[in-house]
Amino acid sequence: MLTVDFKYLAIRPGDRILDVGCGSGRHMAEAYRFPRVTVSGMDRSLEDLVQARERLEFHGRLGEHGGGCWGLAQADIVALPYADDGFDAVICSEVLEHIADDTRAIREVLRVLRPGGVLAVSVPRLWPETVCWRLSRDYRTEKGGHLRIYHRRRLVQRIQSAGARCFAHHFAHGLHAPFWWLKCLVGFKKNDHLLVRLYHRFLVWDLMARPVVTRGLENLLNPLTGKSDVVYFRKLQCLPG
Task: Please check whether residue 197 lies inside any domain of the structure.
Answer: yes
User: pLDDT tens across 114-142, in order?
Assistant: 999 999 999 999 999 999 999 999 999 99
| pTM for this prediction | 0.94
> Is 1 part of a structural domain of the chain?
no
Total domains in the chain come to 1
Quote the pLDDT of residue 37: 97
**Has residue 225 been placed in a domain?**
yes
- In which domain, by residue range, is 136 found? 6-235
Task: Give pLDDT, residue 189.
Answer: 86
pLDDT tens-digit map of 167-195: 999 999 999 999 999 999 999 888 999 99
For the chain, report the end-to-end CA distance as a whole number of angstroms.
Answer: 38
Residues of the chain scoring pLDDT < 50: none
On whether residue 222 sits in a domain, the answer given is yes
Strands (E), the chain: 16-20, 38-43, 69-74, 87-93, 113-124, 164-172, 228-235
Write down the pLDDT at residue 1.
83
State the pLDDT at residue 188: 85
Residues facing 73 on adjacent strands: 42
What pLDDT does residue 238 have? 74
- Residue 240 covered by a domain: no
The CATH number assigned to the domain holding 15 equals 3.40.50.150
